[in-house]
Structure 1
Amino acid sequence: MPCTSHAKFMVVFTVNQSNENQVNQSVNPIILKRTIKNIPVLEVVQKELKTEKIPVVIYYHGWQTSKELVLTQGRKMAKKGMRVLLPDAMNHGERKQPVSKIPSFTFWSSIYGNLFEFDTLIEHLKKRELLSDKLAVGGVSMGGMTTCALLAKHPEITGGICLMGSPSPLEYGEEISRRAQEFQYKLPVDYFDLISWVNQYDLSLQPEKLAGRPLFFWHGEKDEKIPFRQVSKFVKKNQDKSYGKGIVFRASSEKRHMVEVPLMDEAADFLSQMMAVSI
């Protein structure tokens, strides 16, 4: 039986009157290929809204994939009247590099790069006078971990979407260490010192930083890559707290590490409702 819980979070979808006639969900958004500093980005937006200050979503792809593989999700969000930025993480996509022989080094450096480059994307939007006060982050797998880390440090973010990621990167680091021992991979002896920066971005260690903001989790109970329990434990511990009132959790009993189209639609709906809330 699926383990599904929902927070006591409800929003009423309203449309800003100035954009009411411009948001046409039947029209395919345009895709603009940009390089922001050295970050390859796809910007997805409805043509009629290209120069409008509309809600913004920065959406991160997963491990060993690319921005193009989250383009379908980006289109679904853009159809609802949002501007979506899809960056390539370091070592991925157009920035592809060989994975280091040192276990997990490329993984952690890619997340670290996402966190470091977040402000660069924000400054780009500011210079174009397109940074809305409605700003969301989201992502899948490694991108979901990036999302939770950003929420731990950036109170200006309206909320987020974490699909099969983890709000507990330190615990995930411990999982990597356990698996390395199991499969006899050699990690540096000071592994946990080398990833000590993770503590500062671990949302599970500072859940009060959510401050009631909406955060949508989805995870498959049979996920073979990122343990389901890391999310379910976080939700159970924090969902009934005042700072966790915006948590929504969807769990699927038979699903593994894959995002399917109905989930993309649900996530886009969640974002469109969240962005309609006046804060």
Structure 2
Amino acid sequence: MKQFSCMVEKHLAGQDGIPVLACYVPGSEGGPLVFLQHGYTGCKEMDLQFGMRIAQEGYFVVLPDARLHGERRPPDFQQIFESDFYNRFVDVIEGTVQDITQLIDYFGRDEAGLAGISMGGFITFLAAVREPRLKAVVPIIGSPKLLPGPDTPADQPGLDRFDVIPEAEKIRPKAILVLNGMKDEIVRPDGVMQMDPVLRDLYRDIPERYELVLFENVGHEVTEEMKQRTVDWFKKHLPVR
């Protein structure tokens, strides 16, 4: 892996003042824009090392705080989610996708990449459907649909609000790499496995632009191999010129 010193800057970006970190190697400010989106209860700082790893390859990496997270986290965060978890979770996903569109405008780019972890993976799937300027996306330990847990009633309010599989055709021709652990009990791989035949059919004439990797002995975690595959995917499908 290349080793260069990275600059890290804090911005309050866009018309809504979205808190973000931007990291890049000096001289690479004009490199391809890549977003790295954190998970539930997390914040932008948590994934900075991963972001810097991507930036080492010449990318301009932006890590936003999701809605209601990080610097945007309200004092009553726990109560907000305890009272109506799935509806609030989907609100965060949808709002943060709107933020990503706003941030692409703010940084003045015609194309971008996006990787997201856990809740950030849900955000990545929805953004892949809604934002045409995204050219390469990597949902990591996320899901294209909400699934009930073992103790969750199937009719729990909000569960039916998030399912991008029926809109999968809008993802094509973006390059999409999906990374999940087979032993993940928090975000089970069932959703990505349901979506797999749909995407394989949609990408049958461009198979190099879709890949699902299921890690046999991995739970709800981001492994070194996942990180390296993410970097390699951007290098292949959103190359630094």
In structure 1, distance between residues paired with 2:17 and 2:235: 30
**Take 1:152 and 1:43, find their aligned partners in 2: how far apart are those partners?**
24
Which digits, 9 at most, give the CA deviation of each residue in 1:172-222, with x for residues without a partner?
1x516x73339xxx955xx46xx64x4xxx431122112232101110001
Aligned twin of 1:124? 106
Is the CA contact 1:138–1:147 (under 8 Å) kept in the aligned structure 2?
yes
Is the aligned partner of 1:226 residue 2:198? Answer: no
Task: Give the alignment partner of residue 269 of structure 1, picking from 221, 224, 232.
Answer: 232
Aligned residue for 1:58? 35
Partner of 1:212: 173
The residue identity in structure 1 corresponding to 2:35 is: I
Mapped to 1, the partners of 2:239 and 2:105 lie a distance apart of 23
Q: How does 1:238-257 map to 2 (within 5 A)?
A: 238-242=199-203, 245=207, 246-257=209-220
1:47 paired with 2:26, answer yes
- String of CA shifts for 1:60-83, please: whole Å, max 9, x gaps: 101111111111211111011111
Q: Which residue of 1 aligns with 2:152?
A: 180
Deviation at 1:277, TM superposition (A): 8.9
- The correspondence of residues 82-97 of structure 1 with structure 2, limited to 5 A, is 82-97=59-74
Query: What corresponds to 2:91 in structure 1?
Result: 109
Question: CA contact under 8 A between 1:91 and 1:106: conserved in structure 2?
Answer: no
Unpaired runs of 5+ residues, structure 1, are 1-23
Structure with greater contact order relative to length (CA < 8 Å, sep ≥ 6): 1
Tell me the distance in 1 between the aligned counterparts of 2:27 and 2:122. Answer: 33
Larger Cα-atom Rg: 1
Contact 1:74 / 1:86 at 8 angstroms: preserved in 2?
yes
Structure 1 residues 128-175: Cα deviation after superposition (integer angstroms, max 9, x where no partner): xxx2x441111011111111101111222112001011122xxx1x51
Alignment equivalent of 2:134, drawn from 141, 153, 157: 157
TM-score by length of 1: 0.76
- Measured in 1, the distance between the counterparts of 2:21 and 2:137 equals 19
- Count of matched residue pairs: 232
1:234 CA displacement? 1.2
**CA-CA distance at 1:93 after TM superposition:** 1.1
Q: Kindly report the root-mean-square deviation, in angstroms, between the aligned alpha carbons of the 2 structures.
A: 2.4
Structure 1 residue matching 2:102: 3-state secondary structure: helix
